Amino acid sequence: MTRDNDDLRALIRTISDFPKPGIQFRDITTLLLDAQGFAATIERLASQMEEKPDLIAGIDARGFVFAAALALHLGTGLLLIRKDGKLPGETIAEEYALEYGTDRLAMHVDACAPGAKVALVDDLIATGGTAVAAARLIERAGASVTGAHFVIGLTELEGSERLRAEGVNVHALIEY
Amino acid sequence: MTRDNDDLRALIRTISDFPKPGIQFRDITTLLLDAQGFAATIERLASQMEEKPDLIAGIDARGFVFAAALALHLGTGLLLIRKDGKLPGETIAEEYALEYGTDRLAMHVDACAPGAKVALVDDLIATGGTAVAAARLIERAGASVTGAHFVIGLTELEGSERLRAEGVNVHALIEY
């Protein structure tokens, strides 16, 4: 393991102009295809946690990949935070800003017990809009966010700062 | 472990009339929240496999949950099969029927090497439309599908029969 996870960085592919011109898309699908790289990613995400949380929360849809594997690795349950309208039970929802307009994230109102310690996981933090919405949902359910854990952080977009302003500890394995 | 996985069945919640009247929605989020239930699900999915595949393929989005944890458990890479338009690289796509109209699943054209053995994973098989499309994508890439593995099978909708007609072995932990 190198301190800045250059071995994992080498497994991430950059695709220019996706989903639109000017964007450098960091593609984690090449990392996932590499069995050792995927396992190392999960171990290093886990090693960022000071204590074992009660639940891992994953954000729809790429966040599910890392959150599910982490939950299995740590022996915790998994909480799904989804686009509004996808969950069948009673939900609470939070709006977040898109470049044009807004969207909503939701979680089941009974998904975590009051006082539960929940670690938030996603593949990437950009502007932090979805992560802030997810953290607020967890707090509204009476649980606490022990930290937010990302494979990739896009530092220029300042999502980590926005999440820290909510009182959440932020960790990213690889920064661009 | 009971032969018909009644312990896992007890962790699945049924919600009536979602996403529309008359549908009994099998909600796996309650199973995921249970650390022991989730771990047992992954172990039993793995135990359905006669040999270790080269890759686990998960179908967008709930399939990612089980596929990712299985890939970590088995020590394989993970291949993401997504709704068309979500993957950044060059893709191949397959159409499948919806109740009204059609939709398309895609995978990266370079995601698996010719000859690779790929196990297909999703949370649920209903009519089998997405699973058949996913299996065809894997075969088109020159790889072979070692089996299709589901937590839930809805037997009345005959998806397993459709998938078997493609030459794919089908396994479901729990049938309704």
Give the mean model confidence (pLDDT) for residues A26-38: 98
Give the mean model confidence (pLDDT) for residues B25-46: 98
Query: How far apart are alpha carbons B66 and B149 in whole angstroms?
Result: 10
Rg (CA), chain A: 15
Give the mean model confidence (pLDDT) for residues A142-146: 98
Of B27, B82, B88, the CB nearest to A25: B88
Q: Mean pLDDT of all residues in chain A?
A: 96
This prediction has a pTM of 0.97
Angle, CA of A153, A12 and A58, to the nearest 5° = 55
Give the mean model confidence (pLDDT) for residues A89-109: 95
Q: Do B79 and A32 touch (CB under 8 A)?
A: yes
Give tens-digit pLDDT for B132-169.
999 999 999 999 999 999 999 999 999 999 999 999 99
pLDDT attached to residue A99 = 80
Query: How far apart are alpha carbons A172 and A70 in whole angstroms?
Result: 15
- Count how many Cα atoms sit within 13 Å of the Cα of residue B55 in the half-sphere of its side chain: 25
Mutate one of A33, A52, A90, A108 to test the B interface: name it (highest B CB count within 10 A).
A33
Mutate one of A25, A72, A108 to test the B interface: name it (highest B CB count within 10 A).
A72
Give tens-digit pLDDT for B59-100.
999 999 999 999 999 999 999 999 999 999 999 999 999 888
Find the residue in B nearest to A61 (Cα). Answer: B61
Q: Residues 6 or more apart from B38 whose CB is under 8 A from it? A: A71, A72, A77, A78, B31, B32, B69
Split at pLDDT 50, 70, 90, the class of A1 is very low
pLDDT attached to residue B99 = 80
Q: Is pLDDT of B3 > 70?
A: no
Using the Cβ of A115 and the Cβ atoms of chain B, whether some distance falls under 8 Å is answered with no
> What residue spans define the domains of chain A?
50-175
Using the Cβ of A69 and the Cβ atoms of chain B, whether some distance falls under 8 Å is answered with yes
CATH of B50-175, one of 3.30.300.30, 3.40.50.2020, 3.40.50.150, 1.10.10.60: 3.40.50.2020
Query: How far apart are alpha carbons A3 and A44 in whole angstroms?
Result: 11
- Strand, coil or helix: A2: coil
Split at pLDDT 50, 70, 90, the class of B1 is very low
